[in-house]
């Protein structure tokens, strides 16, 4: 399943970006004909329902022709919403000045999660103010992050 997910990401991302829409992530839930292929997209100012519908039609046609998924499935195109996961460098860069929670691939010190305000992002490192203490986190150690309120 992970191999299929990575293959779909690499193939669909450029198609989505052609529409001036940002590919955020995708997820496959369920098995066989009960599978759901959920693709999260966004753009500055948010994505509209009409844009999701157009993109769904475009990707559905492409996936039907390429036959990348060997069984029936349901395709969903969605905005990641307010609790959008922060995965890429660009995701974190857009959120400088905002409060986030970061989940690490391995402990940094004794912590596997950090929460604070993003102060900066440079040279592959996230600078986080966690309760007045600066934490410097290499991006390759971050599994994902999310905005906190």
Q: Return the pLDDT at 2.
A: 84
Q: How far apart are CA 3 and CA 80, in angstroms?
A: 22
Q: How far apart are CA 60 and CA 52, in angstroms?
A: 12
Residue 44's pLDDT band (cuts 50, 70, 90): confident
Average pLDDT, stretch 75-103?
Answer: 88
Most confident of 43-57, 64-78, 120-134: 120-134
Q: What is the mean pLDDT of the chain?
A: 92
125: tokens are 């490192």
Classify the C-alpha dihedral 46-48-54-60 as positive or negative: positive
Q: How far apart are CA 90 and CA 74, in angstroms?
A: 29
| Cα dihedral: 56, 17, 39, 60 (round 10) | 30
Q: What angle do CA 74, 77, 81 make, to 5 degrees?
A: 130
Percent of the chain surpassing pLDDT 90:
69
Give the chain's domains with CATH numbers: 2-78 (3.30.300.70), 85-147 (2.30.30.100)
């Amino acid at each position: 399943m992970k191999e299929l997910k990575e293959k779909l990401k690499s193939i669909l991302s450029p198609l989505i970006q052609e529409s001036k829409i940002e590919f955020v992530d995708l997820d496959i839930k369920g098995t066989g004909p009960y599978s759901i292929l959920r693709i999260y997209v966004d753009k500055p100012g948010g994505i509209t329902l009409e844009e999701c519908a157009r993109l769904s039609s475009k990707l559905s046609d492409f996936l039907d022709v390429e036959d990348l998924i060997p069984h029936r499935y349901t395709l969903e195109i969605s905005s990641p919403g307010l609790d959008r996961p922060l995965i890429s460098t660009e995701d974190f860069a857009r959120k400088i000045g905002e409060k986030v929670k970061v989940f690490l691939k391995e402990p940094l010190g004794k912590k596997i999660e950090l929460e604070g305000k993003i102060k900066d992002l440079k040279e592959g490192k996230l600078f986080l103010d966690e309760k007045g203490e600066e934490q410097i986190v290499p991006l390759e150690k971050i599994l994902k992050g999310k905005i906190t309120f």
